[in-house]
Structure 1
Amino acid sequence: MAKKKQTKVEEPIVEETVVVEQPKVEAPKIKAKPKNTWEIKDRVYYLKNRYKPLSYSIKTSNLYWFDPEKGYEREIKYCQNQRTCFVDEMKGDQRLEHIVFRSGVLFVEKEKTTLQKFLSLYHPLKDKLFYEYKPVEIASNQIDRLELEADAILMARQMDIDLAEAIMRVEKGSNVSNMSSKEIKRDLLLFARNNPDLFLELANDDNVVLRNFGIKAVEENILKLSSDQRYFLWGSNNRKIMTVPFDEHPYTALAHWFKTDEGMEVYTQIEKRIN
Structure 2
Amino acid sequence: NKHNYFKESGLRPRPFIFINFIIYYIMAKKQKTKEKEVVEETYFEEEVMVEEKELPIETPKNTWEIKDRTYFLRGRKKPISYALKSTGVYFFDEEKGYERELKYCQNQQTAFVDEMKGDQRLSHIVFRNGVLHVPRQQTVLQKLLSLYHPHRDTIYLEWRPVKKAEDDMEILEMEADAMLAARNMDIDMAEAIMRVESGSSVTDMSSKELKRDLLIFAKKQPKLFLELADDENVTLRNFGIKATEMGILTLSSDQRTFKWASNDRKLMNVPFDEHPYSALAQWFKTDEGMEIYSNIEKRLNQ
Scaled by the length of structure 1, what TM-score is found? 0.89
Deviation at 1:257, TM superposition (A): 1.1
How many residues are aligned here?
262
Change (3 A) 1:179 1:92: same
Distance 1:163 1:25 in 2: 79
What is the CA deviation profile of residues 116-158 of structure 1, one whole-angstrom value per residue up to 9, with x for unaligned ones? 1111111112222222111111111100111111111111111
Q: Does 1:42 align with 2:59?
A: no
Aligned counterpart, 1:261: 287
Over residues 157-209 of structure 1, what are the superposed CA-to-partner deviations in whole Å (9 max), with x where a residue is unaligned? 11111111111111111001001111111111111111111111110011111
Find the aligned partners of 2:42 and 2:278 in 1 and give their Cα distance.
96
Per-residue CA deviation, residues 18-53 of structure 1 (Å, 9 max, x unaligned), is: 774636454333332111111100111222224333
Q: Higher helix share goes to which structure?
A: 2
Query: Which of the residues 43, 47, 56 maps onto 2:82?
Result: 56
Query: What CA distance in whole angstroms lies between the structure 2 residues aligned with 1:218 and 1:115?
Result: 64
1:86 aligns with 2:112: yes
5+ residue gaps, structure 1:
1-12
Return the alpha-carbon distance in structure 2 between the equivalents of residues 254 and 21 of structure 1: 92
Matched, 1:113 2:143: no
- Give the structure 2 partner of residue 148 of structure 1: 174
Amino acid at match of 2:294: T
SS of equivalent to 2:279:
helix
Q: Is the alpha carbon distance of 1:18 and 1:195 closer, same or farther for their aligned partners in structure 2, counting shifts above 3 Å?
A: farther
Structure 2: state its 5+ residue gaps. Answer: 1-38
Cα contact 1:50–1:104 (8 A) shared by 2: no
Rate the CA distance shift 1:139–1:21 in 2: closer, same or farther, 3 A: farther
**3-state SS in 1 of match to 2:176:** helix
Give 1 or 2 for the bigger CA radius of gyration. Answer: 2
Deviation at 1:79, TM superposition (A): 0.7
* Aligned: 1:206 with 2:213: no
> 1:224-269 CA distances to partner (integer Å, 9 max, x unpaired)?
1111111110000110011112222111111111111111111111
Q: Secondary structure at the match of 2:87?
A: coil
Higher relative contact order (CA 8 A, sep 6+): 1
Change (3 A) 1:160 1:128: same
For 1:75-224, list aligned pairs within 5 A: 75-224=101-250
Q: Secondary structure at the match of 2:143?
A: helix
How many Å apart are 1:17 and its aligned residue? 9.3
Residue of structure 1 in register with 2:261 after alignment: 235
Provide closer, same or farther for how the CA distance between residues 160 and 28 of structure 1 changes in structure 2, counting only shifts above 3 A: same
**Matches of 1:185 and 1:74 in 2, distance apart?**
59
SS at match of 1:92: coil
Query: TM (normalized to structure 2)?
Result: 0.82
Relative to structure 1, the CA distance from residue 23 to residue 260 in structure 2 (aligned partners, 3 Å threshold; closer, same or farther) is farther
C-alpha separation in 2, matches of 1:214 and 1:53: 50
**Pairing 1:246–2:277 present:** no
Moved more, 236-245 or 95-104: 95-104
The alignment-based identity, stated in percent, is: 65
Within 2, Cα distance between the matches of 1:256 and 1:162? Answer: 19
Partner letter of residue 207 of structure 2? S
Matched position secondary structure for 1:62 = strand
The two structures, once aligned, show a CA RMSD in angstroms of 1.9
Partner SS for 1:147: helix
